Chain A
Amino acid sequence: MGKSKKSIQIVILLAIVLIGVYAVATVVFGSDEVPKVGEKAANFELLGMDGNVHTMSEYEGKARVINFWGTYCPPCVREMPALQAQWEKWKDQGVEIVGINVGENKMTVENFVAQTGVKFPILMDPDRDAVASYGVGPMPTTFFVTASGKIHHIRIGELDLDTLDKQIEQLVKAK
């Protein structure tokens, strides 16, 4: 009798602690949905320029560089050649570079890709779903994601060839 009383007490206290931790955690961490370094990168399901649907999980096991861009964003346009060059350098070494176009139509993206000679996979996010789940504010924003799916580094602003190369190197090492 005494024992069952005690275990009931413990169960009730545990339930209160769990609910309390959950409640406090949701208000503290739930309010800003911006993903942080060290957290798991969110999944997405987007139509690619190749006509197929691509998801984050299909790149599982590869280090990933996820770049959010638009043709209306001059620094995004400027950094495209650097991304293209790094893609060519790293694509056979387990690194995938993915560009996510934000809010534009297929025709605009297609023309831009043809003009700039971008070959790395470009996905389209017309409804800004991935933008929302990645908490992207100003563009360009680039997420460096490890092979295990953790965000290793977030770069807001224009990338250049050299630092991009170093960052990818670190990302590959960060397995």
Chain B
Amino acid sequence: MSEGSKPLIQNTKCECGHQNPPGTVLCEACGKPLTKEAEAQQILEMRYDGVARRSQKANPGFIDKVWNFFSSVKVAIYLILLTLIGSSLGTILPQESTFLNIDPSVYYKEEYGQLGHIYYLLGLSHTYTSWWFVLLLVMIGASLVICSLDRVLPLYKALSRQRIPKHMSFLTRQRVVYQGTVEQDGAEWVERVKPLIKKKGYRVRTDGGTLLAEKQRFSRWGPYVLHIGLIIFLLAVLGRNLPGLHMDEHMAFPEGEPVHIKNTSYYLMNDGFKVEFYTEEDMPNEFKGKGKVLPKKFETEAILYVCESNCNTPGQEPQLKEVTRHNIEVNHPLNYKGLKAYQFDYDLTPILRTVSPMLIDSKTGEQYGKIDLSIKDPVREYKAGDYTLTLTQTFTDFGLGDDGKPVNLSPNPNAPAFLFLIKGPNLPADGIQYFYFPKQVDKERFQQDAINAQLAGGENLVTLDVLSMDDVDFAESTTYLNIRVDKAMPFIWVGAFIGMIGLVMGFYFHHRRIWLRVDDGTLTLGAHTNKNWFGLRREVAAILNQMNIEVDEKSLENNRGSQA
């Protein structure tokens, strides 16, 4: 486009008397070429029917200049090219978001060397969430909206206000042209040809000896419908960042406990986790004999609950209602109203929940009674027969500090330990202190019996011990699920669907127009379409032949200027 060379102020009044807005190429009323460039064209440039774009103004202000910038297709193409280059840069190395737990400032240097570090420093390790990439997307969006508005409104006006009589120079400079003599009066001839054109599916309007036939005008709106679809698509992509519309979390679910999914009212419980391993025979050859353990299939029996009350009240049990259950396998996620849970990983380390050890007399072996000890949330007082046990210290991850005193190493129940004060018959009046390690490994590692003997003054009077596995309640495994919510997805589909409709409108339907006028026994016909000229020529030739005008399809091609 060479708008720059055009004089800004020009006389835009056509000889037919119509006042055209500045920037008009072809008179809005009669189609006469108005500019020198259009005048010089052998075949008229029919883009937007030669109307002025909305932004073409005599004296553009600041707002107009911004508007003009975005209304330019050239700018839009540059923006798209820049975005293409930018997004391809983001594919050179894996993006930060593909890793779960890395420090990008170190990771890229270690993994990819100095170039990797430069890649990170340039911000390309998060290309798609960088300010410049999003700014480019926003500018493309702006360009889409403004380009469309700038063209669709004038085009709509031009097409809905078409005048039937057209200037001779407009007709003879169409790509499909016929000129010949007819014997009848103009108006009569036009009335005769009208039903023939109608039969081809055209809407026909006549005005004396002139005629305008048109079909499938709606295909002209195809690009704009596509643009609306793209804008919805873009807005949906931007809108994903709104709180609550998008979530992508990896969470651990120990067996048998409902776990709250943050920022939702849902709880998900791992009701059982199964994993099958390949036997040595089934294993692919490259893994045979290497002592590898390959899981064949793993499955989480998941139950999804919705919280009905006491949801966000700390210290109160939430009231849960089951909404759905599903066996989650790789590629078979749980899906409930847009909340998806994908199988991601598992851990077969058992986690103790409750132990019910028996208080036993160390000498006689007499069993006094069982206590129920919750590992995660123990209570203060316990009763075992005539004995009372008071919990005085708890450890989730027992260890010894630098000073040799017991300390807690982490909040994770790796090595739970409990210090009781036990009172009862045959014990000192103040009671005795007793350390209890529910896990057998810890009992041995920290020498439970030796510590307790020391605490009790030399010998073990009582012992806490589980008698059978029935007295131990534990989560056999933990499953890791990837919880995803993407509420913007429906809008992305809607946008894509509208875009598709626009593409079909624009690609599979053609806007065809035929103008004709009879002046003193001379018929002049011009026809225009935006694609498939071959089909249009054939239609025009068929109509003319039916009117007893012998004409070859090919001869309708307007080859002025390129005469063979």
Binding site for B on A (CB under 8 A): 5-6, 9-10, 12-13, 16, 19-20, 22-24, 26-28, 30-31, 45-47, 51, 53, 70-72, 74, 102-108, 111, 124, 127, 129, 132
Taking a contact as CB atoms under 8 Å apart, the answer to whether A31 and B126 are in contact is: yes
Binding site for A on B (CB under 8 A): 54, 63-64, 66-67, 126, 129-131, 134-135, 137-139, 141-142, 145-146, 149, 235, 238, 241, 260, 262, 312-315, 376-380, 391-397, 401, 407-411
Q: How far is the CA of A47 from the CA of B66 in the complex (A)?
A: 55
Given the interface pairs A31-B126, A127-B260, the reply to whether A107 lies near B378 with Cβ below 8 Å is yes
Taking a contact as CB atoms under 8 Å apart, the answer to whether B241 and A13 are in contact is: no
Q: Give the shortest distance, in Å, between A127 (CB) and chain B (any CB).
A: 7
Query: 14 new A-B pairs (CB below 8 Å) besides A24-B131, A24-B138, A70-B408?
Result: A6-B63, A9-B67, A13-B67, A22-B238, A24-B135, A53-B315, A71-B408, A72-B397, A72-B407, A72-B410, A74-B401, A105-B376, A106-B377, A108-B394
* Chain A residues closer than 8 Å to B380, beta-carbon distance: 107
Taking a contact as CB atoms under 8 Å apart, the answer to whether B145 and A12 are in contact is: yes
Taking a contact as CB atoms under 8 Å apart, the answer to whether B142 and A20 are in contact is: yes
Closest A residue to B130 by CB, please name it.
A27
* Chain A residues closer than 8 Å to B146, beta-carbon distance: 12
Taking a contact as CB atoms under 8 Å apart, the answer to whether A16 and B411 are in contact is: no
Closest B residue to A109 by CB, please name it.
B394
* Chain B residues closer than 8 Å to A24, beta-carbon distance: 131, 134-135, 138
Question: Which of A27, A71, A102, A108 is in CB contact (< 8 Å) with B241?
Answer: A27
Q: How far is the CA of A45 from the CA of B311 in the complex (A)?
A: 12
Taking a contact as CB atoms under 8 Å apart, the answer to whether B142 and A16 are in contact is: yes
Given the interface pairs A108-B396, A111-B394, the reply to whether A51 lies near B315 with Cβ below 8 Å is yes
Q: How far is the CA of A130 from the CA of B515 in the complex (A)?
A: 74
* Chain B residues closer than 8 Å to A28, beta-carbon distance: 131
Q: How far is the CA of A28 from the CA of B123 in the complex (A)?
A: 12
Q: How far is the CA of A124 from the CA of B391 in the complex (A)?
A: 20
Question: Which of B137, B145, B260, B313 is in CB contact (< 8 Å) with A23?
Answer: B137
Given the interface pairs A16-B138, A53-B314, A70-B411, the reply to whether A27 lies near B129 with Cβ below 8 Å is yes
Closest B residue to A2 by CB, please name it.
B57
Taking a contact as CB atoms under 8 Å apart, the answer to whether A23 and B411 are in contact is: no
Taking a contact as CB atoms under 8 Å apart, the answer to whether B396 and A23 are in contact is: no
Taking a contact as CB atoms under 8 Å apart, the answer to whether A45 and B241 are in contact is: no
7 interchain pairs (CB within 8 A)? A9-B67, A16-B141, A24-B131, A27-B131, A70-B411, A71-B407, A105-B394
Taking a contact as CB atoms under 8 Å apart, the answer to whether A23 and B142 are in contact is: no
Q: How far is the CA of A23 from the CA of B142 in the complex (A)?
A: 13
Q: Give the shortest distance, in Å, between B104 (CB) and chain A (any CB).
A: 11
Given the interface pairs A70-B411, A105-B378, the reply to whether A16 lies near B145 with Cβ below 8 Å is yes
Taking a contact as CB atoms under 8 Å apart, the answer to whether A20 and B138 are in contact is: yes
Given the interface pairs A16-B142, A20-B138, A71-B408, the reply to whether A111 lies near B314 with Cβ below 8 Å is no
Given the interface pairs A30-B241, A53-B314, the reply to whether A111 lies near B138 with Cβ below 8 Å is no
